[in-house]
Amino acid sequence: MKFESYKKGTLQKVIELEKKLNINLPDDYKSFLIKENGMDIYDACFCVQDLEQEFSMGNLFGIDIEEGLADIEKVYQEYGEDLPEDSLFIGTDAGNRFIILVMEQENRGIWLYDDSYSIEQSSDDENTYFICETFTEFMQILGN
CATH of the domain at 97: 3.40.1580.10
How much is the CA Rg of the chain, to the nearest whole Å? 14
Residue 51 confidence class, pLDDT cut points 50, 70, 90: very high
The pTM of the full predicted model, rounded to 2 decimals, is 0.93
Residue 127 confidence class, pLDDT cut points 50, 70, 90: very high
Q: How many CA atoms are closer than 13 Å to the CA of 139, on its beta-carbon side?
A: 14
Q: Of 93, 134, 135, nearest to 116 (Cα)?
A: 93
Whole-number pLDDT of residue 46:
97
Q: What would the mean pLDDT of 105-121 be, rounded to a whole number?
A: 93
Number of domains in the chain: 1
Q: Of 66, 62, 67, 48, nearest to 14 (Cα)?
A: 62
Q: Of 64, 53, 34, 52, nearest to 135 (Cα)?
A: 34
Write down the mean pLDDT value for the chain: 93
Could you tell me the residue range of the domain that residue 96 belongs to? 2-143
